[in-house]
Amino acid sequence: MVFARIHRFFSRVAVTEDAQHKYPQELAEIYRKACEGHVLEQVLLGKALLNSRYIARDEKRAHDWFVVAASANYGPAHNMLGRCAQFGWGCPLDLTEAVRHYERAAQTGDLWGIYNLGICHMRGLGVEADRKAAFNFFRRAALRGHAKSMNLLARFIEEGWETPPNPAAALDWYRLSAEGGDYRGQHNYATALLSMGQPEAALHYWRLAVKDATPDILQAMHRDLSEPDAPQDPELMATLQRRLKEALAKKS
């Protein structure tokens, strides 16, 4: 009952503050449901306000909608509030506050919250660095199918961090991460396949990874594919160079 009253209060506040904002047709239904109190749509609207081609970025309004959904103890909303606090989106940058929200998200079983909590413990963000805790968070999320956690679990197993090294098990987790759609897992699995003498299979996963990869992975792919004995795929290389050029343009 208490959560319901708090949620209704925050919903009224957000709707009032958002009332003068005209949403495009592509987001109108999401906005309608968010105003009616649907927590999923409240988080979706917040994410759109952070990154959408349909509306201008508005970090403060996004943060307000995440607060609304989090007042109903909705795990994905706490995860997004953690992201906001970690990067200073619509609120002061506060890593301790970020960890607090990731913990709240993880308590609800939210996989992204568990993953981000693992990242914080691995890197010492808002908490003391603790690789054992990070390993356990990544394993917990990986066992429930979270592709990014699978990739990091594979890295821990490959390197022997907090667990005996096991190359075969690490390869399996890289494969599962790659099949689950994580571009880092796809790159790491492709690299392993190439070292195992399977260039065509490696190219398949690099073709998947290039679509969403961040600049660091794009650069790693470029290095691997520029080696003299690397498999040749002119179309993949052209896409890779185009995406690297776009990434550099954004930074300048």
pLDDT, tens only, 213-241 = 999 999 999 999 999 999 999 999 999 99
pLDDT above 70: residue 6: no
Cβ-contact 188, 151 below 8 angstroms:
yes
Q: Average pLDDT in the 42-62 region?
A: 96
Instruction: Look at residue 1 in the predicted model and tell me its pLDDT.
Output: 45
Question: Average of pLDDT values for 3-29?
Answer: 64
Distance CA 3, CA 10 (A): 11
Identify the band that residue 2 occupies on the pLDDT scale cut at 50, 70 and 90.
very low
Inter-CA distances, 72 with 34, 36, 46, 97, Å = 13, 13, 15, 18
Q: How confident is the model at residue 14 (pLDDT cuts 50, 70, 90)?
A: low
Two tokens at 150? 């699978």
List helix spans (H) across the chain.
2-18, 25-35, 39-50, 59-70, 75-87, 95-107, 111-123, 131-142, 147-159, 167-179, 183-195, 199-209, 215-225, 234-251
Average model confidence (pLDDT) across the chain: 93
Which residues have C-beta within 8 Å of that of residue 246, sequence separation ≥ 6? none
**Which whole number is the average pLDDT over 16-34?**
80
103-134: b or e for each residue (b if 16 or more CB lie within 10 Å)? Answer: bbbbeeebbbbbbbbbbbbbeebbbeebeebb
Question: In angstroms, rounded to a whole number, what is the distance separating the alpha carbons of residues 46 and 211?
Answer: 24
Per residue in 70-79, pLDDT tens? Answer: 999 999 999 9
Each residue of 152-200: pLDDT tens digit? 999 999 999 999 999 999 999 999 999 999 999 999 999 999 999 999 9
pLDDT in tens, 199-217: 999 999 999 999 999 999 9
Q: How far apart are CA 106 and CA 143, in angstroms?
A: 14
